[in-house]
Amino acid sequence: MKVRDKNGYDDQDASAVRTALAELTETGPPLGFSGQGLLSAGRRRRRIRIRIGTAAVAAAAGVAVAVAVPSVVFDAHPASTPTGSPGTLRTVAYDWDEVARRCARSNGPGSGSLRVYNIYRDAGGVLAMLYGRNIVMGCDLTHWPTAVVAGSASGDLGFEWLPGPVSVDYRAGSSGYPGGRGRDPMPGYDVVGGRVASKVTRVAVSLGADTLTVRSVNKTYLVRFLHPAGQALRPDLRSVRIKGYDAEGRLLADFDTDPDPPGCYRRPDGTIAFRIGPNERCEPALRWP
């Protein structure tokens, strides 16, 4: 006698379903990935996380900030334009809310609500920078609607206050991919991004002998230095020279990030928002955005 469950199904039913499911999977296309390819992807992801984590820890040292969700009215099409940027690139009309959702998804659970603050276009593709409650993230939109996280930093840092006219929040690097195994080549890069005070309209970022200058967008800036795929990551990424200018070209900020410049900034209620180094005199922290 057949053994049936309370719904009247027996082992034969389950076996038939099992066979049918197996047949469904028989006709799949060849595998599009390999162990070696995933190994490279995993290494790249780990390298970016380590570098971003190191930067975030360094930046967060001595910081205790009450965090609020940033809200900002941003341009319909945020875009940083590097000086001397390469030729014409594909123009895509983005739905920014969807960009934020897809980038959050790529970063995995815990990303929270994100907003796009800046977009950088160059020969390497399209890179977005997003901020959330206590997270900043780079997100590659080159193959939109695919969005791939390109490094993120999170912690107790928060983004409600600015330590001076210009902050450096996002630093990431990749050695790129030379192509092959059905994948397009991807150049290596070093990325630097952050927030600025409202009067800062232009930011120059120097990495080694290279300098890129961009306009600020939504009180943020974002630059990317490209290099050939396979080239070793730059050991000097921690040491970035930042200069911020106002609309008249006056220099408002000039510092190197290794080590982070000392300073002390107070909120209006007198509490310390940032203190890096043994500073006794504190300046007013700047609200952002």
Partner 1 sequence: MTTDWERDFVDYVGARGRALRATAYLLCGDWHRAEDLTQTSLTKLYGVWRRIERTESVDGYARRVLVRTYLDERRRPWRRERVAADLPEQAGRSDTADERLDLLAALARLPRTQRAAVVLRYWEDLGVAECAALLGVSEGTVKSASSRGLAALREVLQGSRRIEPQRTEERVR
71 lies in the site for partner 1, by CB under 8 A: no
Within 10 angstroms of residue 44's Cβ, the number of other Cβ atoms is 19
CA distance linking residue 43 with residue 174, whole number of Å: 10
Strands 135-140 and 148-154 turn out to be: antiparallel
Task: Please identify, using beta-carbon distances, which residue of 153 and 162 lies nearer to partner 1.
Answer: 153
Query: Is residue 21 within the footprint of partner 1 (CB under 8 A)?
Result: yes
Q: Rule CB under 8 A: say whether 18 interacts with partner 1.
A: yes
What is d(CA 143, CA 226) in angstroms, rounded to the nearest whole number? 18
Cβ 286 to partner 1, closest distance in Å?
A: 35
| 93 binds partner 1, rule: CB under 8 A | no
Q: Can residue 109 be called a binding residue for partner 1 (CB under 8 A)?
A: yes
Phi, psi of 155 (to 5 degrees): 155, -155
Is residue 231 a contact point for partner 1 (CB under 8 A)? Answer: no
**Residue 38 touches partner 1, criterion: CB under 8 A:** yes
Token couple for 192: 């630097």
Taking CB under 8 A as the rule, does residue 9 contact partner 1?
Answer: yes
Q: How far apart are CA 85 and CA 226, in angstroms?
A: 11
Q: Are 188 and 228 in contact (CB under 8 A)?
A: yes
Handedness of CA 44, 45, 51, 55 (dihedral sign): positive
Decide if residue 282 touches partner 1 (CB under 8 A): no
| Closest distance of CB 24 from partner 1, Å | 6
136: three-class secondary structure by DSSP:
strand
Nearer Cβ to partner 1, position 139 or 166? 139
Q: Of 78, 99, 102, 147, which one interacts with partner 1 (CB under 8 A)? A: 102
**Which of 11, 46, 50, 123 is close enough to bind partner 1 by CB under 8 A?**
46
Q: Give the CA angle between residues 53, 125, 180 to the nearest 5°.
A: 90
Contacts of 269 (CB under 8 A, 6+ apart): none
Q: Which of 113, 178, 186, 160 is nearest to 265 (CA)?
A: 160
Which of 11, 14, 68, 123 binds partner 1 (CB under 8 A)? It is 14
Please tell me whether residue 232 binds partner 1 under the rule CB under 8 A. Answer: no
Q: Is residue 233 close enough to count as binding partner 1 by CB under 8 A?
A: no
Q: Closer CB to partner 1, residue 34 or residue 83?
A: 34
Q: Contact between 19 and partner 1 (CB under 8 A)?
A: yes
| 77/105 with CB nearer partner 1 | 105
Beta carbons of 48 and 172 less than 8 angstroms apart:
yes
Q: Which residues bind partner 1 (CB under 8 A)?
A: 2, 4-9, 12-14, 16-25, 27-29, 31-36, 38-39, 41-42, 45-46, 98, 101-102, 105, 108-109
